[in-house]
Chains A and B, each alone.
Chain A
Amino acid sequence: MEYIIEMIDIYKEFPGVIANNNITLRLKKGEVHALLGENGAGKSTLMSILFGLYHADRGTIKVRGKEVNIQNPNVAYDLGIGMVHQHFQLVHNFTVTENIILGSEGKQILDRKTASKKIKDLSVRYGLNINPNDKIEDISVGMQQRVEILKMLYRDAEVLIFDEPTAVLTPQEIIELMNIIRNLIEEGKSVILITHKLKEIKLIADRCTIIRRGKYIGTVDVGKTTTGEMAKMMVGREVLFNVDKDEAKPGEVILEINDLNVLNSRKTLGLKNFSLSVKCGEVMGVAGVEGNGQTELVEAITGLRKTESGTIHISGNEISRLSIRKRYETGLSYIPEDRHKHGLILDYTVGENMIMKLYYQEPYSKRGILNPTAIEEHSNKVMELFDVRAGEGNMSLASNLSGGNQQKAIVGREIDMNPDLLIAFQPTRGLDVGAIEYIHKRIIEQRDAGKAVLLVSLELDEILDLSDRVAVVAGGELIDVVNIEDTNENELGLMMTGVRREDMHE
């Protein structure tokens, strides 16, 4: 029995979209099998079908050679298939134990004690280091992912599906995850891994299946294929991996932060005595593990969060008591982390979204009355400039745009405001290489035009590609600011754990 899972000619259609168009994927026992494809290619859909969340319109699934009908996740678990979803499927105000036993509680009357013990044991065996009694809302994203893994192990899954597990992790956490996956393989499990990062595929996968726009392209042996070849199969053209950029020509200081203290959502100090200055004509990267003060820093600058003490100057003006709007008016633009929560009003048209921060100004409105012509002209211009594609142009509802186009619209809107300081928080999260390439180019253009960019990213590659200088944060404190030429991935990764440079070189 060579294959543990065979998905043959899977076809699945959503209203208006063929998500899977006769895709075939075969998983060998004991292998790590990568699944590669652009955003919206249909990867999550395919895996959701395997996991019983969706039902294929056509196609066959065989598990251990036997044809099966996976009606729901319970059937999948019974067949030994488990899945870690792209967006974690955890109940935030439940404990770890409660989340793990949910759906397979055993008896009707809960026995949390026994379950916790079993979870503790599993955690020790796979080196997951989880406390079963913690609430999900109190633990880090990395920990949450381990809870997802434990969920599968708790149910004795043999085949583990990981949907973009590394998108939310720090380099250290990624390394740990890779180790965990190796452990799993050693224990006889098989793994399907979805990721956009070719490097990771190279690192851990045995074979890789590539799909494009819902169609099956091919399955390759990772050892015998270059990343370039895989990327080409995925997008259907050559892809540039490195951003071309000239030497930075930094100018005056534009953003000056002094002794800033900011509370986090848990009402403790999320940013402590933080000082930083950013110059015109440079990209200042902010590197750090998620939840180490980046959100607090950015929201304090933009005004979405109150500061406790300290000062923030933009072009010499103290702004920390100004309203959000006044701050934008000083020449600040902000690409937010969460495009659906902050970046867009999904029920507004693209055109209306384009004037989100401008609507009250002339020519978009006069004495409180909107000017539709000016709005249309403006949004058409931005959409053209930034290649935002939408079915009904600026009249399309934002919710009808694909993720990449939504992000391009936001980036376009913010850059078009011609800011002196652009704050970009995870500008390419979850996007495919094509879209990433495009947005990176725009950010560098901004820098080259003599503007300052504060780039917050959890992905070190992005930081290394774009930044001129890097500020490393850990535990809400600034660890250090280093020039990009003077550092490397390893060093940054270490600093992100809170180790200072001086201590490193002793």
Chain B
Amino acid sequence: MWDIVKLIFPYAIAYTVPILVTSLGGLYSERSGVVNIGLEGLMVFGMFAGAYIVFLLQTVAPGLSIWLGLLVGMLGGGLFALLHAFASITLNANQVISGTAINMIAGALTLYIARTLTGSGNIQVIRGLPRVDIPILSKIPILGPLLFSSTYASTWVVLGILLLSWFILYKTAFGLRLRACGEHPYAAASAGINVYRMRYIAVVISGMLAGLGGVIILVTYSGEFNGSVAGLGFLALAALIFGQWKPLGILGATFFFGFMTTMANISQVIPELSIIPPVVLKVFPYVMTLIALVIFSKSSQAPKAAGQPFDLGKK
């Protein structure tokens, strides 16, 4: 079993990271009171923007182009999220509808633009991020092979974002205000906080992180943009709820998904696992999530105002 775990771990982490960072994006948005069903679309859009930059620059500056791609993917996701922000914050639209529209627009529009720009719906990346063993740390017994071997730089960036998010949310004035906007926006407003602005910031951050997640998929395991992220945005949303709207909960939830899915994916080539009917392995993460949700259901920590438009009656 240990051998299997050791074998799976680095790839499970690689698979987890984009979901994790997207889910963290969702965390900002929902903590500010804006439900973001559009994470999937934001990922797609960010992935598209990043892929296009990498595509343009990879022959000129291979290493740099990847990091630029990550940056532009973030910006692209953030920019695209403005559409959701505008509808759900400025226009007080139904946030679920707006998010659904974001998903639909991203899928259709990126392919439409990709065709026009590159003449091709698919955008390929020559080479993604390298995978490296962290010197010294990868030699630590147990933890070394699990955590510090074959890692992507992006993984550490995302873990940094995770820690930073925790700190921002709970230790800074910005975080306090953000959470207040998601729990009781009118209280926040009466404390002099510009709820609209906070929500805009949060939704844009969620777009940036989801966009980053999209590009990470591209520069780590997929190497190609094809107009879809295969439902990972929805998984990120589920992980957000499963993780009870908390950074560490989200880490746990996404890693659980990542590990189980990876295990199911590769069970075919691992004789020890191939005795289990594949359908069981495939279905396992989803069934377990349902069970976990039942167990945690007693203490739901959902932001109280998430999904409710905020309207001060201003003209």
Contacts and interface: CB of A to CB of B under 8 A. Distances in A.
Interface in B185-209: 186-194
Nearest to B167: A109
A110 B184 contact: no
Interface stretch (B24-32, B150-158, B173-181): B173-181
Contacts of A317: none
B171 A103 contact: no
B49 to A, nearest CB: 30
Interface string A442-486: 000000000000000000000000000000000000000000000
The 9 closest A-B pairs by CB, nearest first: A103-B191, A105-B173, A74-B192, A89-B187, A73-B192, A89-B190, A103-B192, A102-B191, A91-B183
Contact of A53 (B172, B184, B304, B312): B312
Interface in A75-93: 76-77, 83, 85, 87-93
Nearest to B187: A89
Contact of A77 (B179, B180, B192): B192
A73 B312 contact: no
A96 to B, nearest CB: 13
Given A103-B188, A110-B172, A94 B312 contact: no
Nearest to A83: B190
Contacts of B188: 91, 102-103
Contact of A92 (B177, B184, B193, B194): B184
Contact of A110 (B173, B180, B187): B173
29 contacts: A54-B314, A72-B194, A73-B191, A74-B192, A88-B187, A89-B184, A89-B186, A89-B189, A89-B191, A91-B180, A91-B183, A91-B184, A92-B183, A92-B184, A92-B304, A93-B183, A94-B176, A94-B183, A98-B176, A102-B176, A102-B180, A102-B187, A102-B193, A103-B193, A104-B191, A104-B192, A106-B173, A109-B172, A109-B173
Interface in B299-314: 304, 312-314
From B174, B176, B187, B193, name the one whose CB has the most chain A CB atoms within 10 angstroms: B187
Q: Could you say which interface size class chain B belongs to?
A: 20 to 34
Given A85-B190, A89-B190, A108-B173, 8 more contacts: A54-B312, A73-B191, A90-B187, A91-B183, A91-B187, A103-B188, A105-B173, A109-B172
A378 interface: no
Nearest to B175: A110
A213 interface: no
B177 A103 contact: yes
A54 B186 contact: no
A256 B314 CA distance: 52
Nearest to B182: A91
Given A91-B184, A94-B180, A109 B171 contact: yes
From A93, A106, A107, name the one whose CB has the most chain B CB atoms within 10 angstroms: A93
Contacts of B315: 55, 57
Contacts of B173: 105-110
B170 to A, nearest CB: 8
